[in-house]
Structure 1
Amino acid sequence: MSEEIKFGTDGWRGIIAKDFTFDNVNLVAGAIALYINRRGLSDKGVVVGYDKRFLSEQFAESTAEVLARHGIPVFLSDKPVPTPVAAYAIKVYDTAGAVMITASHNPPYYNGMKYIPEYAGPALPHITGEIEENLKKIISKSDRGIYFKGKHILGKHIIKRFNIDEIYLEHIKQLIPFDDMRKVKLKVIIDPMYGAGIGYLKNLFDDLGWSAREINNKDDPLFGGNLPEPTSDRLTTLREWVIKTNAAFGLALDGDADRFGVIDSDGSYISSNQVLYILLNYLINRKGLRGPVCRTVATTHMLDVIAEKYGMNIIETPVGFKYIGECLFKERAILGGEESGGLSIIGHIPEKDGILANALMAGVSVLEGKSFKDIINDIKSVFGYKVSKRLDINCSREKKQEILDKMTTFKPDKLIDKKVVETITIDGLKHVMEDGSWCLVRPSGTEALFRIYAEAGDIAEVEGIQNEVRDSLGL
C-alpha cells in the first residue's frame, strides 16, 4: 500500500510489483517535487540515476517525467550509474539534488528510491520526514493526478541525458596517489557483483597501466543468484580468482557501488573496520591531514586510538551514513565511516563511495609496498589491536518487546569481569569497559532481530562479552 511508504536508513525500498510499483514511484516523485518547489530550488534541476535492477531504467524515466511536469529540469543518466556518481553529478550540474533508483545490496526482487539533497549526501531525517508528509497529503487528495499534470509541457528541453563518468574518475584520481600508482604494474581482480559499478575501477586501473581483470560484469538483474553485498561469505569467487592468478589483491563493490569489499593477496578478507583504520593511518601519515574523524556507534574504536594519538576528535553518530555524511560536510571530518562498508573522506562528496574506498586501498598498497595484512600488523605494533564481531539474533515479535523492556534497566557494573565505565544510548545500548572494550545491543528497526556488536583484545573476549550480554537479556 502506498500509505505505508516510509524512508528507512537509506531511502524507500520495496518488493517490485508488490510495493515498488510505478504508481507508488510516481507518488514519491511527486512528494520530492513538492519538497524541491517549496524551497524555490526547481530552476536548479534534479539528477535522476538508476542501477542495473529489473525495471530500474523505466522507474527512473517515470520519475523524471513526474519531476518535469512539476517544472523541474531533469538530468537523467544515459545508463546505469553508481549512487556516488549520481551524487557527484549534483556538484557537477549544481542541482537541487538527485533521485536514485536503487535497492543497493538487497535481494534481486527489491528495488528502491532515495533522495540525495543538494549537499550530495544522504537525506537527513527532517528532510525525509517532510517528503513523507508531502506523500500523505498527495495520497489524501481525491484527485492525485493534480500532482502529475502541471502546466509545463514535457519535452527534451526539460529532460536531458547525462554522462559524467570521465569527470568523476578524474576527480577520484585527485584523491588517490595516482602518480605513485603509475610507477608500478600490478595485477588486480575486480568484482562489481553484476552491479552499477561495472567498468569504473577497471577503467581507472587501465589508465594506470595495470593488469585489471573484472569478473561478474555482465548484465544480470538476478546478480548471479547471489546478494550483491561484498561481505566475506559472498566473495568466494573473488577470493579464488585472486589466489589462482597470484593477484596483488581483489576489490569488490555492492549493487550500486557505494559499499566496498577487499580481499588480500592470500585470499584473506579485510573487514570494513580494518579498511577504515588503514585509511585513517594513511590520511594522517601519508597525506598529513588532521581533523575530526566520525564513525557510527557500531564501528571500531581503533579509529579512536589512532585519532587520540594525534590529538584529533572522534565524533560518534547513530547508525546510518546520513549521520556520517552530516559530519563530513558540517564538521569537515577527514574520514567518516561505518562498519557495514561505507566511507568517504574530506575533499569528496559526503556520500559513501565504494569506488573511492577501493581506489584508496589500492593506493595504500602501492605506497606501503606490502600486503594489507602486513600493513595491519604495522598498525598493530604501534596502536595495539582490537577484534570486532557482530552477532545477529532472531526472535519473535513478543520476545523483541520483552528484550527492549529489559534493555531499559540493563546497567551492569562489569562485563567478563571488566568494569563498565560508560553507557551510551544514542542508538541502542552500548557499554564501554575500562580497557576500551565495548558492547552494543541494537534492535532492528524493521525485523524481530537484535544485533550484538562487541570489540575487545581477542576473539575469546569478544565472544565472552556477547554471550554474557545475550544471557543477561534472555536472548
Structure 2
Amino acid sequence: MATIKFGTSGWRAIIADEFTFHNVRVVSQAIADYIKKTENPAGGVVIGYDSRFMSENFAHTTAEILCGNGIPVFICDRATPTPTIAFEILRRKAAGGINFTASHNPPEYNGLKFSPAWGGPALPETTRQIERRANELMQHPEFQIKSVEDATAEGLLTRIDPREDYFAAVLDKIDVDAIQNANLKIVVDPLYGAGRGYLSTLLERAGCEITVVHDFRDPLFGGAQPEPSPETLKEMLNIMRDRSYHLGLAVDGDADRYGIVDNGGTFINPNAFLAMALDHLITTRGWKKGAARSVATSQLVDKVAQQHGIELHETPVGFKWIGDLISKDAITIGGEESAGLTIRHHVPEKDGILACLLAAEMVAVSGKTLSQQLKDLYAKTGTVLNERVNLHLTPQRMASVREKLKTPPTRFGELTVEKVVTIDGTKFIFDDSRWMLIRLSGTEPVVRLYVEASNTTDLEHLKQIGMAYIEEE
C-alpha cells in the first residue's frame, strides 16, 4: 500500500499510480481534519488547479470532502496560477488553500499543495500532521462527503474568478508608467499552463505589444516538462532572434516560475536575474530589508546584499522558508535558482508572473537590455557563473549517494573543502568564489549537482569532480 509523503512543495505522484481519486480523498480528509483542529473553518478554503490531466476533477473531489466536513469552499472557475491562489487566500482571510499542480514536473505527474491561512506553502510542522493523519486514513478510510450539487445548493460551495483582484495587486507593485513609456515588444509563452490569459493580459494593460505562443491547454505540455528553460523555450528563442523584440517572458505550468529571454535570444539565468532584481528594487524602491536565497542559489545575491549593507538569509530548498520571511516583512526579495521569487508586500509564494513584469520594468527604467544590466553588475561584483546538472539514478544508486554523504569528504583532488553546509543537501565551499552542492530531490528520483565559480574552467572542473563523486561505486 502506498504511503502519503509531502516533498518540498506538497504531495506529488504519478496519475493513476499513486495519484488516484481515493488517495486524493484521503489527503483531503486529512487536511479537513487539520483545518478543523487548528484553523478557523468558517473562513473557508480556496481550491485551485492547473491545466494538467484531470486537475479540475481532482479539485471537485476535494471540494466534496471539505464541504462534507462543513468547510466552505471557494473553487476557481478555470486553471489558476499558484500565486493567484495564494493572493486569494490572503484577500479572503481564508483558512487556507488547496492547489492541484505538479508545477514543472513531467505531464504524468499531478500534485496537491496545501497553503495555510498565511498564504505560503505549508511548513514541515504542518505537513507532518497532515501526512500522519493521511496515512492513518489509508489504513482505515473514513470520509465525509457532500456532492458538488448539494454543496452549491446549500451555499457551501462558491465558484470564483480571482483574476481581477490579483491583476490589481500585481500592477500596484510594478512601475506601469515606465513600462508604458518604453513601448516594449514582448513574446509571451505560458507553456500551455495556468498562466494563459494572465501574463499576456497584464503586459497588454501595461501598454506592451505582445506576441503569444502556446496559448492553449495541452495536458502533455507539448511533450516536455512545463519548465521555462532554454530547451522548452526554443520557439520563443527563435522568435527573439529577431532583435525587434525587447524581451521574451515565460512561466511554467502553474505560473509560479519564470523564464526570461533577452533581446537577441539570450536566456537569462534565474540566479543572475534574482541578484539583478535585488539591486533594482533597492535602487528604485529604497527598500533596505534583507534578501533570502536557498542554499542552492547563487552567492551573487550575497555580493549584492553586501554592497548594499543588507542581511542575507540562506534557507533550505523549498519556497516555504522564503515565504515565511516575506510574511514577516523581513526581506526585500527572496528567491531560488529554480526560477522562483517574490518581493516585499506581495504573496509569500513564488510568482512567475510578477517576476516577468519586474523584468519588463527593469528594461523600461534602465533603457538597457538585461544582458547589459548584468554586465554592469559584474563590473561591481566580479563574474559569477553557475550550473545545475540533474542525474537520474536508480533507487540503489540514490541510496548509495545518500550513504556516502553521511561522511562528507574533506578534499576533492587538489581542492580542499573549507566549509560544509548541510541545511539541505551537502554543500562544499572551497573558497569565496567556488562551491558545489549535492542534493537528492524530494519529488523525483534525481540527484541534483549545483556548481558555482568565477570562470568557465573552474566551473567545468567542479562539475566533473561532482559527477565523478556521485557516479562512483
What TM-score does the superposition give when structure 2 sets the normalisation length? Answer: 0.94
State the secondary structure of the residue aligned to 2:217: coil
Say whether residues 1:358 and 2:356 are aligned partners. yes
Alignment equivalent of 2:458, drawn from 441, 461, 470: 461
Residue type of the alignment partner of 1:442 = R
1:159-197 alpha-carbon deviations (Å, 9 max, x no partner): 011112111111111111112112121110000000010
In 2: Cα distance, 1:319 partner to 1:32 partner: 23
The one-letter amino acid of 2:307's match is: K
**What secondary structure, in the 3-state scheme, does the structure 1 residue paired with 2:203 have?**
helix
Q: 1:161 to 1:290 in 2, by over 3 A?
A: same
Give the aligned partner of residue 27 of structure 1: 26
SS of aligned partner of 1:171: helix
Correspondence 1:204-215 to 2 at 5 A: 204-215=202-213
Whether 1:300 and 2:321 are equivalent positions in the alignment is: no
What's the RMSD between the two structures over aligned residues? 2.0
Please tell me whether residue 86 in structure 1 is matched to residue 85 in structure 2. yes
Q: CA deviation at 1:212?
A: 1.0
Change (3 A) 1:101 1:405: closer
CA shift, 1:447, in A, is 5.3
| 1:144 to 1:393, Cα distance in 2 relative to 1, 3 A | same
1:285-319 deviations in Å (ceiling 9; x for gaps) = 12111111111111000010110112211111111
> In 1, Cα distance between the equivalents of 2:160 and 2:102?
22
Q: How does 1:370-385 map to 2 (within 5 A)?
A: 370-385=368-383
Counterpart of 2:252 in structure 1 is 254
Change (3 A) 1:395 1:221: closer
**2:186 match: secondary structure:** strand
Per-residue Cα deviation, 1:270-292 (whole angstroms, up to 9, x for no partner): 01101101101101112111111
Of 224, 227, 252, 1:226 maps to 224
Aligned to 1:282: 280
Instruction: Tell me how far apart the structure 1 counterparts of residues 75 and 213 of structure 2 sit (CA, whole Å).
Output: 28
Equivalent residue of 1:71, what SS?
coil
In the alignment of these two chains, the number of paired residues is 470
- Residues in 2 aligned to 1:27 and 1:80: alpha-carbon distance in whole angstroms: 23
What secondary structure does 1:262 align onto?
A: strand
Q: What's the CA shift string for 1:322-344, capped at 9, x where partnerless?
A: 12212222362111111011111
Distance 1:173 1:452, change over 3 A: same
Say if 1:385 and 1:329 are closer, same or farther in 2 by CA, change over 3 A: same
Distance, in Å, in 2 between the alignment partners of 1:148 and 1:26 is: 9
Unaligned runs of 5+ in 1: none
Shift of 1:448: 5.2
Q: Which residue of structure 2 lines up, in the alignment, with residue 217 of structure 1?
A: 215
By how many angstroms is 1:451 displaced?
2.1
Q: Which residue of 2 aligns with 1:169?
A: 167
How is 1:102-117 mapped onto 2 (pairs within 5 angstroms)? 102-117=101-116
Q: Distance in 1 between matches of 2:21 and 2:37?
A: 24
SS at match of 2:248: strand
Q: Secondary structure at the match of 2:172?
A: helix
SS at match of 2:151: coil
Offset of residue 426 of structure 1: 1.0
What's the secondary structure of 1:180's corresponding residue? helix
Q: Please identify, of 396-405 and 459-468, the stretch whose mean Cα deviation from structure 2 is larger.
A: 396-405
Q: 1:408 — aligned with what?
A: 406
Give the distance between the partners of 1:470 and 1:111, measured in 2 at CA: 30
- CA deviation after TM superposition for structure 1 residue 64, in Å: 1.0
- In structure 2, distance between residues paired with 1:106 and 1:17: 16
Matching residue of 1:52: 51
SS of residue in 2 equivalent to 1:233: coil
AA in 2 matched with 1:460: T
Please state how far the C-alpha of 1:245 moved relative to its aligned partner.
Answer: 6.8
Matches within 5 A, 1:173-212: 173-212=171-210
More moved, 463-472 vs 121-130: 463-472
Aligned to 1:438: 435
Q: CA deviation at 1:102?
A: 1.3
SS of corresponding position for 1:278: helix
Task: State whether structure 2 residue 341 is matched by structure 1 residue 343.
Answer: yes
Instruction: Identify unmatched segments of 5+ residues in structure 2.
Output: none
The Cα of 1:417 is off from its aligned counterpart by: 4.8
What's 1:137 paired with? 136
Q: TM-score, normalised by structure 1?
A: 0.94
Asked if 2 retains the 8 angstrom alpha-carbon contact of 1:29 and 1:63, the reply is: yes
Write the deviation string for residues 15-65 of structure 1: whole angstroms up to 9, x where unpaired. 222222222211111111111001251111000111112221121112111
Distance 1:431 1:180, change over 3 A: same
Structure 1 residue ranges (4+ consecutive) displaced by more than 4 angstroms after TM superposition: 415-419
The letter for the 2-side match of 1:424 is V
Supply the distance in 1 between the matched residues of 2:292 and 2:450 (Cα, whole angstroms): 18
CA shift in 2, pair 1:48/1:399, >3 Å: closer
Report the Cα distance in structure 2 between the residues aligned to 1:219 and 1:395, rounded to whole angstroms: 32
Query: Which has the higher mean CA deviation after the structures are superposed, 259-268 or 205-214?
Result: 205-214
| Equivalent in the alignment of 1:11 | 10
How far is the alpha carbon of 1:472 from its aligned partner? Answer: 5.0
Distance, in Å, in 2 between the alignment partners of 1:472 and 1:34 is: 45
Task: Look up the SS of the partner of 1:286 in the other structure.
Answer: helix
Alpha-carbon distance between aligned partners in 1 of 2:362 and 2:80, rounded to the nearest angstrom: 26
> 8 Å contact 1:424–1:431 — kept in the other structure?
yes
Q: Residues 319, 240 of structure 1: CA spacing in aligned structure 2 closer, same or farther, 3 A cutoff?
A: same
For 1:341, give the aligned amino acid.
A
User: Which amino acid in the other structure matches residue 65 of structure 1?
Assistant: E
- Shift in Å, 1:446: 5.6
